[in-house]
Amino acid sequence: MISVLKQVNTIITPVMKKIILSAFCFCTCFQLLAQSGNSYNKTLADSLGSDEYGMKMYVLVVLKTGPATFDKKTTDSLFNGHMANIGRLATEGKLVVAGPLKKNDKNYRGIFIFNVKTIEEANKLLITDPAVNAKILDTELYEWYGSAALPMYLPYHSKVQKKEM
């Protein structure tokens, strides 16, 4: 995981690193918990907006290289705002996964998974991102059906993180 992060050609702040590592840890923990049997908790399921399968709708955003270019100082400022916005949305519980993608031929830069049900709600969150507003990043949005427990991994990251990356 660490070697993959070193190869990423985008700015990665400690908040972004925490989110990426948390997503990896969540997937591992979720798999282990799934093997331990079904211990349905209605109160928890209801609080997470779960359906009868333990799932719910999210919006997946693919971030791509946008058409705009700026000088280095402006670009750095916009990406600092982008990272600050990621941290704010994660703290608010609106953003449950965010992370960069390795350089690729499709100019895909990263992903978000928003804890919202509709593309319209996700678009309202995206307009708060300076890099998206400036068109340095472009977006593709998709409705995604995933585990309602996905947001639960975030508080556990600090419990498994031995040191900052």
pLDDT in tens, 97-156: 999 999 999 999 999 999 999 999 999 999 999 999 999 999 999 999 999 999 998 778
Q: In the predicted model, what is the mean pLDDT of the chain?
A: 84
Residues 6+ apart with CB under 8 A from 48: 56, 148, 149, 151, 152
Instruction: Tell me if residue 57 falls in helix, strand or coil.
Output: strand
Residues 6+ apart with CB under 8 A from 1: 21, 24
Cβ–Cβ < 8 Å for 76, 150: no
pLDDT surpasses 90 at 83:
yes
Q: Domains of the chain: which residue ranges?
A: 2-159
The structure's pTM equals: 0.74
19 band by pLDDT with thresholds 50, 70 and 90: low
Residue 162's pLDDT is 85
The CATH number assigned to the domain with range 2-159 reads 3.30.70.1060
